[in-house]
Amino acid sequence: MSSFKEVFETYDWDALEQEIYAVKTEQVRAVLRKQKITLEDFKILISPAAKPFIEEMAQRSNATTKKRFGTTMQMYIPLYLSNECQNICTYCGFSMTNKIKRKTLTDAEILKEVRHIKSLGYDHVLLVTGEANRTVGTDYLTNAIELIRPYFSNISMEVQPLEREEYEILRQSGLYAVLVYQETYHKATYKMHHPKGKKSNFDYRLETPDRLGKAGIHKIGIGSLFGLEDWRVDSFYTALHLRYLQKTYWKTKYAISFPRLRPHEGEVQPKVEMTDADLVQLICAYRILDEDVELSMSTRESEVFRNHIVPLGITSISAESKTNPGGYAVEKESLEQFEISDERSTAAIKEMIQSQGYEVVWKDWERNFTNGF
Ligand code: SF4
């Protein structure tokens, strides 16, 4: 098997949708009696029929997460380096045709942002850019990683998909993890929301985690953007992708995120609503499926939701995020990629987490543990 594309093509979206929506209560009960669940069982846990069992799923998710991760919660923060983008994505404020002021941080500006982030306590940072190969290609990213490496134990990245060789160069510069979301696994809907630019190539994006695995990147984050398509089917494909990657690149760690569409410049309304209860059901289902996968929660979600989700299976949470380049210290007023919902400070989130009996962790690993991987 040379890539996930071969597995992906053996599944049919409509058939999966029908199966998930036809699940019966008895099937949910049977799955919840099992110790270990399969991908087929996961389908049952994300079905509408499993909704009345959320409480039971939440208890199991809580216990499983504590067994594997203890009572810890990792904090992370994004550092937006650039809002330049050569793609059109209908749901994003940085989309190429949006008339916004474009900005890419200089070395001095990056360091100013880094000083602010460090003052908040973080020892791990997520670098984010739009997809503009000429401005924020591998050379720019290599320089940025080398520049900030002395300040952080771990550096993650959420930027344009790259070639395997480029990931290898970045890994050698100190890159630890890469997040790349498929947005939706529904090909026609994907095409509709990504009409122009390199991102319109569905297969290239789909095969990006394979290139990351082959390049030996320590951790890979995947996920879908909820609202573009039916969240249940997209989540099944994400789980399928996860299982394939775990089997193929077994030395790598994995993480899943759950972004729901948020307001931004050039609004697109969610096609399918995902309620708070749906999101809880999904988080618990992922945890019951997989003890080891990291589950991550961003500031897109509301204060109330984030307060409640802490003990239900997630393992990392962001705080005080700015989604505009220079948003912390350089140019606070520039346009954000999307609006943040939970605007509390890092200190307030830390306190909220500790009040629930969890210890806050500021980095993933000591750098010496991952050197040479
Ligand atoms: S989602 Fe990414 S690729 Fe698409 S417009 Fe926004 S920054 Fe560019």
Integer Cα distance of 264 and 243 in angstroms: 33
Q: Against a cut of 0.85, is the pTM above it?
A: yes
Beta bridge partner(s), residue 115 = none
Ligand 1 pocket member 81 (CB < 6 A): no
- The whole-number pLDDT of residue 210 equals 98
180 CA → ligand 1 middle, Å: 12
Reading the block at residue 184, the tokens are: 């939706």
Ligand 1 pocket member 92 (CB < 6 A): yes
Ligand 1, atom 1, lies closest to the CA of: 92
Question: In the Cβ-directed half-sphere of 369, how many Cα atoms lie within 13 Å?
Answer: 8
Integer Cα distance of 101 and 98 in angstroms: 9
Ligand 1 pocket member 131 (CB < 6 A): yes
Nearest atom of ligand 1 to the alpha carbon of 197: 3
- The whole-number pLDDT of residue 160 equals 97
Enumerate domains of the chain plus CATH numbers. Answer: 4-364 (3.20.20.70)
- The whole-number pLDDT of residue 263 equals 61
The residue to mutate among 85, 134, 204, having the most atoms of ligand 1 within 8 angstroms of its beta carbon, is 85
pLDDT tens per residue, range 330-350: 876 666 666 678 889 999 999
Cα dihedral across residues 357, 359, 364, 366: positive or negative: negative
φ, ψ for residue 62 (rounded to 5)? -60, -50
- The whole-number pLDDT of residue 36 equals 94
Name residues of the chain where pLDDT drops below 50. Answer: 265, 372-373
- The whole-number pLDDT of residue 338 equals 65
φ, ψ for residue 344 (rounded to 5)? -65, 155
The residue to mutate among 80, 84, 87, 160, having the most atoms of ligand 1 within 8 angstroms of its beta carbon, is 87
Q: Is residue 219 helix, strand or coil?
A: strand
Ligand 1 pocket member 199 (CB < 6 A): yes
pLDDT tens per residue, range 168-217: 999 999 999 999 999 999 999 999 999 999 999 999 999 999 999 999 99
